[in-house]
Structure 1
Amino acid sequence: MSTLTASQPAAKRKRDGEPETAAKPLVRSEIWFHDGNIVLQADRTQFKIYQGLLSANSTVFADMFLVPQPPPSGGELVEGCAVVHLSDSAIDVTYVLEALCKRSHVTINEPVSIAIVAAFVRLGQKYQIDAVLSEALKRLYHEFPVELEDYDINNCWAMISNSDCILIDVANLAREQNLLSVLPLALECCSREDSDFLVKGVKREGHSVTLSPADERMVFAANDPLLRLQSTTTFSWLTADGPDECEAPDDCNNGRNQILRDSFFPCSLYASLATWDQEWEEYTICDECLAKAKGLHASGRQRYWDNIPSIFGLPGWEELKKERVLSNI
């Protein structure tokens, strides 16, 4: 963790002939309480709030304020308050302080952006701000569950706003903050994305947002194993023999083969976690074969789910679940 300081480090002396670089002007945030008693500065943005509020929500800040600080130099006082310099981005600090001071971004029935979730996780873990950390983890764990049953019943993007780069953002955040239980499903979802999209990413603030090089390679390497896995799990019923009760095996075999052709040729369908499609019942397949197919499809989806972590070099679900038990979410 970066050391919090109440004074700005002395600027390095410039060499002769070296051009002067003007510092960006300081910006006063909208989070500025006139009766506040501490000023936080992130990047070139300042926030005036209360030591008591920070101490009550963060054990890191509470411990820091207990340590006697040297008297600040005159230039480091802002409206009589000492300045604490943070190494975090101004936008992350803004989101967290809005939550602490204004109760923003914490309405359970409203989705929030991944940028807010990321800020809550980063600063929540760094400064031990349990309120925002638990809020972020609750949302991440809802969208990226560890149980297939929860995957089936949860409303997608009910707690985190969908966006053009959401899967990449989530995978990057999970890797950055070591949230391993989020990674299997996040990376599996990334594997369904167009490869050109994954390579080029999404332009944001002058640069491309992509997966980390290691995760990008892992996702591409997982494509073939995932397709082979779905053929022997979720879609094993397409090549399985019909039950003994089937009275028209030739017709049912033709029906299954037609579904196979329609779904996987000329391009393979990524539908390993898709639930049973009612349209499959419109093919020439008897009721006995359909009943067996539905059972194989359901059990196959579970086997596919169980194997996702290992495809991406991660511990099994049972081990990953411990992360969520420890976080008490």
Structure 2
Amino acid sequence: MEKNTVKVEGLWFSREMIVIKAEHKLFRVPAGILSARSSVFSDMMAFPQPLDEERIDGTPVLLVQDTADGFDAFLRAVYDTSFFMPAPAPVDLFTALSILRLSHKYDIQYLHRRALDHLVVDGWYHQTYRGAQFSARRSPINALSVISAATEVNALWFLPYAYYCASTFSCNTLLAASTTETQPYVQRCLLSHAALLRATVSANQFLATRCRKEMCRDLLECSVVAGSCPNPLADSVVDLKVEGICDSCYENTVIQQHEAVCTFWEDLPQLYGLPSWADLHLMKCVAMGPEDDVAGEGT
């Protein structure tokens, strides 16, 4: 080494490699980089290794109790900067949730924040009710996966909408999507069905008091019957306009339905035994910073 040259602290990694085993998959990676990113792995590697420890090609094997595919995504995010780009870059939900869980478990803060950002941009968090954006239904498996991961990392602000999305599906559909891990969340969704049905009927049960048109009455009654699907946030008013409801009934329905749905939205966290929206928003801001910190955030 030339005189006056120095090794830059934090950018001078050892040549030591480590083999990590997750289920049936083996990963051989530079130990120094992983140790620098994760305080948990740094502590694990600091312990003296047993003499009888399993080795592959002379490299010690570290066994982790994580899913193979989830740990695969996590390590790729650590070592490949292009694999898990910041939001709003597209990323599949499984990858985001795997990295959310494991970055929390192994204490890699920048990846954890990035995973949270992806869930916000993907629409799993909303600060207020804003109408039609809630009409699209998520798959029950995706909703239950978000519930499970958000509960594990204590990101409770994602739970009201994720629970709601799962609860809009029938009992049979939810049970078919249930796993051992998500069974408690499915039970909570099923217990909410009666409340969702009442809210759906309430949000569709409007008729202008001065209107005596039989067509309007029939259309609104049909709308209430259609409310047998527990989805009170769905926008059914547009369909009524297309089908020929009068202007007076349409305007009255738009106003009253919006008021009913806003009331339902405010009460949504309590339906699932969660803190109030005000408390959830505060938790989110503490963990992720002000609202403007996330590009494209759902409001």
Normalising by structure 1, we get a TM-score of 0.71
String of CA shifts for 1:287-323, please: whole Å, max 9, x gaps: 3443232222222221111111111121111111122
Please list, as runs of the form range in 1=range in 2, the aligned pairs for 1:75-154 lying within 5 A after superposition: 76-103=54-81, 104-106=83-85, 108-142=87-121, 143-149=123-129, 152=132
Structure 1: which 5+ residue stretches go unaligned? 1-34, 202-207
> Which residue number in structure 1 is paired with residue 185 of structure 2?
215
Q: 1:89 to 1:221 in 2, by over 3 A?
A: closer
Preserved contact between residue 55 and residue 62 of structure 1 (Cα < 8 Å): yes
> Which residue number in structure 1 is paired with residue 204 of structure 2?
235
Q: Which runs of 4+ in 1 moved over 6 A?
A: 154-157
SS at match of 1:274: coil
Select 2:17's aligned residue among 37, 44, 68.
Answer: 37
Q: 1:85 to 1:284 in 2, by over 3 A?
A: closer
Structure 1 position 267, deviation (Å): 6.6
Please list, as runs of the form range in 1=range in 2, the aligned pairs for 1:1-329 lying within 5 A after superposition: 37-65=17-45, 67=46, 69-70=47-48, 72-73=50-51, 76-103=54-81, 104-106=83-85, 108-142=87-121, 143-149=123-129, 152=132, 165-201=141-177, 209=179, 212-232=182-202, 234-236=203-205, 238-239=206-207, 241-242=208-209, 249-251=211-213, 254-265=214-225, 268-275=228-235, 277-282=237-242, 285-328=245-288
SS at match of 2:234: coil
Structure 1 position 210, deviation (Å): 6.5
> Which residue number in structure 2 is paired with residue 27 of structure 1?
none
Q: 1:304 to 1:211 in 2, by over 3 A?
A: farther
RMSD: 3.1
Q: 1:99 to 1:271 in 2, by over 3 A?
A: same
> Aligned AA for 2:96?
V
> Aligned AA for 1:325?
C
String of CA shifts for 1:5-54, please: whole Å, max 9, x gaps: xxxxxxxxxxxxxxxxxxxxxxxxxxxxxx55222232343322223311
Q: 1:93 to 1:304 in 2, by over 3 A?
A: same
Normalising by structure 2, we get a TM-score of 0.77
> Which residue number in structure 1 is paired with residue 4 of structure 2?
none
Find the structure with the greater CA-based Rg: 1
Among the aligned pairs, what percent are the same residue? 24
Preserved contact between residue 18 and residue 29 of structure 2 (Cα < 8 Å): yes
Higher relative CO (Cα under 8 Å, sequence separation at least 6) belongs to: 2
For this pair of structures, how many residues does the alignment match?
273
